[in-house]
């Protein structure tokens, strides 16, 4: 490497911006219960499959979906219906999402979360 090239590289900014992930826990409202489901958003650092899965809000999800350091996945989460139906639908949703983000299965073990109780 010649001295000029080294000098140019050395002058480059050393700031490396790694996004700080803000976690989010959904709080379904009456409109969500009327619809029967919510959409949930998850991210994980791409370079470590054992790293933490974070649930994020939709705007953070969109931002990180354009960041090559994160794997992102969203899923529909059933919140209205019979216990059996909710479990079945949410299990299938998590299973489908786990094809892209396997660790999401560990994050969502309780398929009745946010279920509207009769």
In angstroms, the CA 96 to CA 101 distance is 9
Q: Which domain holds residue 94?
A: 24-107
pTM across the whole model: 0.82
Mean pLDDT (whole number) for 24-32? 96
Mean pLDDT (whole number) for 71-98? 97
**Domain presence at residue 77:** yes
Does 1 score more than 60 pLDDT? no
**Domain presence at residue 117:** no
pLDDT tens readout for residues 33-63: 999 999 999 999 999 888 999 999 999 999 9
Question: What's the number of domains the chain is made of?
Answer: 1
**Domain presence at residue 18:** no
**Domain presence at residue 3:** no
- Give 17 or 95, the one with higher predicted confidence: 95
**Domain presence at residue 19:** no
């Amino acid at each position: 490497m010649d001295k000029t090239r080294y000098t140019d590289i050395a002058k480059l900014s050393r700031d490396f911006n790694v996004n700080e992930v803000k976690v989010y826990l959904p709080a379904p409202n009456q409109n969500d219960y009327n619809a029967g489901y919510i959409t949930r958003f998850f991210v994980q650092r791409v370079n470590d499959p054992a790293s933490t899965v974070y649930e994020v809000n939709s705007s953070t999800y969109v931002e990180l979906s354009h960041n090559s350091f994160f794997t992102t996945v969203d899923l529909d989460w059933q919140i209205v219906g019979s216990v059996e139906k909710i479990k079945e639908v949410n299990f299938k949703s998590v299973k489908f999402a786990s094809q892209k983000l396997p660790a999401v299965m560990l994050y969502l073990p309780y398929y009745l979360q946010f279920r509207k109780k009769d």
